[in-house]
């Protein structure tokens, strides 16, 4: 019988299992296999994703391996990055408050703030169709309904839909179909957003490779970028998610997309355990 040491963390209810690389090596499994096994909510620990720190990077401070609960890789995860930043700092894998992390979406820079929150420079939102990638119209029809959509990439593809209806009900009903829609050749995360004021939005998400989750950091950033570019909100916005709230800051506009976007929120430990394979 094999056991490995794991750490469970969450950011606004978006939960992750973090496994050191030395512990992963004991398993004899591929990372994809371990992610599916350990993230299973019935037969494993249960999580939206698995993170393994990569400490052998030379051009950045640290890297990571990130896997969704279905065993697929993801380019980026904002809530996961906040948890990762706290973990690697607390475990002395980095010795800086502001540091660089290599991801499949490029180099991301989290910062541990004095108030206990983590601020992540998520890079520039991408609205260019080919880079998302997105090939289609700005209206999408699934089941019995058509939606006006805002395709955005935060290193991973997003489909942001502004609505006056119940965002969670829409995410549950239509999210699985939009995720796999032909307009998005690499599938997509889908955010349903209700604008409460110019400083606050509600958001529910159907995540690519995960389904309904309590929060999505890249989705929060994509949603604010879509709202700002449509002149629906100011440039600093509170994003209410089912699992809690984050703040997103973006100094861009519909005429100036080339501005970094920042995600600010908490990261918390759930438990430490020995996991039996």
> Residue range 71-97: average pLDDT?
95
Looking at residue 209, its pLDDT comes to: 87
Looking at residue 46, its pLDDT comes to: 97
> Residue range 29-58: average pLDDT?
97
Looking at residue 218, its pLDDT comes to: 94
Looking at residue 255, its pLDDT comes to: 84
Q: How far apart are CA 12 and CA 112, in angstroms?
A: 17
Whether the per-residue pLDDT at 237 is higher than 90: the answer is yes
Q: Is position 77 annotated as part of the catalytic site?
A: yes
- Residue with the bigger pLDDT between 247 and 254: it is 247
The 10s digit of each residue's pLDDT in 139-170 is 999 999 999 999 999 999 999 999 999 999 99
Q: Mean pLDDT in the chain?
A: 96
User: In the chain, pLDDT over 90 holds for what percent of residues?
Assistant: 96
| DSSP 8-state code for residue 228 | H
Q: Which of 39, 124, 216, 227 is catalytic?
A: 216
Q: How far apart are CA 55 and CA 52, in angstroms?
A: 9
Q: Which of 12, 39, 77, 221 is catalytic?
A: 77
Domains observed in the chain: 3-112+267-276 (3.10.310.10), 129-259 (3.10.310.10)
DSSP SS3 for 103: strand
Whether the per-residue pLDDT at 260 is higher than 90: the answer is yes
Looking at residue 265, its pLDDT comes to: 96
Looking at residue 253, its pLDDT comes to: 86
Q: Are 140 and 178 in contact (CB under 8 A)?
A: yes
User: In the chain, pLDDT over 70 holds for what percent of residues?
Assistant: 100
Q: How far apart are CA 37 and CA 277, in angstroms?
A: 9
> Residue range 1-29: average pLDDT?
96
Q: What angle do CA 151, 47, 250 make, to 5 degrees?
A: 35
The 10s digit of each residue's pLDDT in 172-181 is 999 999 999 9
Q: Is position 216 annotated as part of the catalytic site?
A: yes
Q: Are 155 and 75 in contact (CB under 8 A)?
A: yes
Looking at residue 84, its pLDDT comes to: 98
| DSSP per-residue codes, 165-206 | S-HHHHHHHHHHHHHT-TT-TT--EEEEEEEEETTEEEEEEE
Looking at residue 172, its pLDDT comes to: 98
Looking at residue 254, its pLDDT comes to: 80
pLDDT band at 1 (very low <50, low <70, confident <90, very high): confident
Give the largest Cα separation in the chain, rounded: 59
Closest CA to 47 of 84, 85, 87, 18: 18
Q: How far apart are CA 235 and CA 257, in angstroms?
A: 12
Q: Are 194 and 232 in contact (CB under 8 A)?
A: no
Q: How far apart are CA 111 and CA 97, in angstroms?
A: 5
């Amino acid at each position: 019988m094999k056991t490995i040491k794991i750490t469970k963390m969450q950011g606004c209810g978006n939960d992750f299992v973090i496994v050191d690389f030395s512990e992963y090596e004991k398993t004899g499994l591929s990372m994809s296999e371990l992610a599916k096994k350990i993230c299973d909510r019935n037969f494993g620990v249960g999580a939206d994703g698995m993170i393994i720190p990569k400490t052998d990077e030379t051009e950045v401070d640290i890297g990571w391996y990130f896997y969704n609960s279905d065993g697929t890789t993801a380019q980026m995860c904002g809530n996961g990055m906040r948890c990762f930043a706290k973990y690697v700092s607390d475990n002395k894998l980095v010795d800086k408050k502001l540091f660089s992390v290599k991801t499949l979406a490029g180099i991301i820079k989290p910062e541990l703030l004095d108030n206990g929150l983590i601020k992540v420079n998520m890079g520039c939102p991408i609205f260019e169709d080919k880079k998302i990638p997105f090939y289609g119209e700005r209206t999408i029809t699934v089941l019995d309904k058509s939606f006006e959509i805002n395709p955005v990439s935060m290193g991973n593809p997003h489909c942001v839909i502004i609505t006056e209806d119940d965002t969670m009900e829409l995410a549950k009903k239509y999210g699985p179909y939009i995720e796999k829609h032909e307009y998005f050749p690499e599938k997509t995360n889908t955010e349903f957003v209700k604008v409460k004021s110019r400083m606050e939005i509600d958001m529910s998400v159907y995540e690519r490779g995960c389904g309904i989750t309590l929060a999505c950091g890249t989705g929060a950033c994509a949603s604010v970028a879509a709202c700002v570019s449509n002149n629906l909100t100011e440039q600093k916005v509170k994003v209410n998610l089912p699992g809690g709230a984050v703040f997103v800051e973006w100094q861009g506009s519909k005429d100036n997309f080339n501005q970094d976007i920042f995600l600010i929120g908490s990261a918390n430990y759930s438990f430490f355990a020995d996991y039996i394979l």
